[in-house]
Amino acid sequence: MNDKKPLMDYRRVQKLQTPLLLTGALLSGVGTSVSVPLVILGIAIMLFAIVIGVLYYRCPHCGRPLGRIGEGGAYCPHCGKALNAPVEEPVRSITVPAYAKLNLTLDILGKRDDGYHEMQMVMQTVSLHDDVTVTLTDGKGITCRVDGAALPCDERNLAVKAARAFCEAMDYGGGIDIALIKRIPSEAGMAGGSADAAAVLRALRELVSPTLTDERLEQISASVGSDVPFCIRGGTQLAEGRGEKLTVLKPAPRFFVAVCKPDFPISTPELFHRVDARTSRCRPDTDGICAALADGDMPRLARRMYNVFEDVLTHREGEIAAIKSRLLDGGALGAVMSGTGSAVFGLFADADSAAYAKRRLARDYQECFLTETIARLEI
Ligand code: C5P
């Protein structure tokens, strides 16, 4: 951002400097034989001419001093731009897509001392997305607006939490406005909040600090939530640790996906608690799914999808299994609950079967989506 733009145009300085210097010299010359105050006034005018030259005889584009080089030349010696070219306003607003994720697998390896769980998940970005507009404002603080869902606009919203984390990490004190257009269902296990947070961080890097490294951005994102680093990178990744340790996998082949989100949430801490209370459970074949990805073998991959949270669903949450059956009956190669639910999705080899399965589920469920896998994001 060009925040060094001079307050006075360099052409005005050029026009002012010579008459001021001449007047100052004349006054101090005449003053030596007439009065001392006149000499002082003359010197003050000359000093003023020198000071405005130092302060404001600067490139209108990059703000650096033009020195003597710029006097006759038409181009800035530093940035090379034509001095009389219109000055571009710095970009202060940007809209970024925030893509949803799906868990092809979810495994819990154990409970950690910090209260979190050691995870092993194969995660995939899909095209279903929110739109996140970040604007730098003249005021102070973070404001947020949400369209398309009833969500809080304070620190409980991960997008706001991400902006705060960025300001603290980068020592940025300017105002930030966040506008969210929501499409990703909430309480679905599709990282709707984390995706918005990641989009805010990507946008703020572009607007405020383009030299910030990917590693540092991911570090900041991990303090916002366990799924945010994945949402920064996207694509097909193995997520371990809390979910923040990522290994790039061979991108999944293009899948068509029918998603159905039943209208009940499942509490995330409650689900982890249920898993802790159980000893034996089925586990996903994570190595097998990574191998299927490496071979580009879609049916093998789809058959191996599994989420350990499905093991601890209660009778009340039996609809998850019912939706899975309907997706499989509709021709899905595999179906599974995503993350901590309650969204369930099926992978299809062709768009028509996915659309048909989605239409049938949409008769009974309000929140049904048709989407597809997408590759890693450019960060
Ligand atoms: O990191 P995040 O804020 O997304 O986590 C939300 C909650 O999910 C945590 O408070 C914790 O209860 C649970 N969690 C966990 N182990 C993880 C990730 C999340 O126990 N690896």
d(CA 269, ligand 1 centre) in Å: 7
Q: What is the DSSP string of 157-204?
A: SHHHHHHHHHHHHHT--SEEEEEEE--SPSSSSS-HHHHHHHHHHHHH
- pLDDT, greater one: 193 or 138: 193
d(CA 342, CA 309): 10
Rounded mean pLDDT of the chain?
91
b (16+ CB within 10 A) / e for 276-286:
eeeeeeeebbb
Ligand 1 pocket test, pick from 106, 123, 231, 268 with the greatest ligand atom count within 8 Å of Cβ, gives: 268
On the question of a cis peptide bond just before residue 194, with omega within 30 degrees of 0, the verdict is no
Residue type at 79 in one-letter notation: C
Over the stretch 31-69, which tens digit does the pLDDT of each residue have? 888 888 899 999 999 999 999 988 888 888 888 888 765
Closest ligand 1 atom number to CA of residue 118: 21
Over the stretch 257-310, which tens digit does the pLDDT of each residue have? 999 999 999 999 999 999 998 876 789 999 999 999 999 999 999 999 999 999
- Give the model's pLDDT for residue 1: 43
Kindly report the protein residue whose alpha carbon is nearest to atom 19 of ligand 1: 116
Supply 128's token pair: 């279903």
Regarding the beta carbon of 223 and ligand 1, being less than 6 Å apart is answered no
d(CA 13, CA 172): 32
Residue 339 has pLDDT above 90, yes or no: yes
Over the stretch 93-144, which tens digit does the pLDDT of each residue have? 999 999 999 999 999 999 999 999 999 999 999 999 999 999 999 888 999 9
Q: In 10 A of CB 255, how many CB atoms? A: 25
Phi then psi for residue 238, to 5 deg, are -95, 125
- Indicate which residues carry an active-site annotation: 101, 227
Residues 6+ apart with CB under 8 A from 14: 57, 71
- Give the model's pLDDT for residue 278: 84
HSE at residue 241, side-chain half, CA atoms within 13 A, is 11
Regarding the beta carbon of 117 and ligand 1, being less than 6 Å apart is answered yes
Q: Which of 173-182, 291-300, 368-377 has the lowest mean pLDDT?
A: 368-377
d(CA 98, CA 106): 22
User: What's the pTM value of the predicted model, to 2 decimals?
Assistant: 0.81
Q: What is the DSSP string of 10-72?
A: HHHHHHHHHHHHHHHHHHHHHHHHH-HHHHHHHHHHHHHHHHHHHHH-B-TTT--B-TTTTTT
Supply 213's token pair: 């490294």
Closest ligand 1 atom number to CA of residue 242: 21
Closest ligand 1 atom number to CA of residue 108: 21
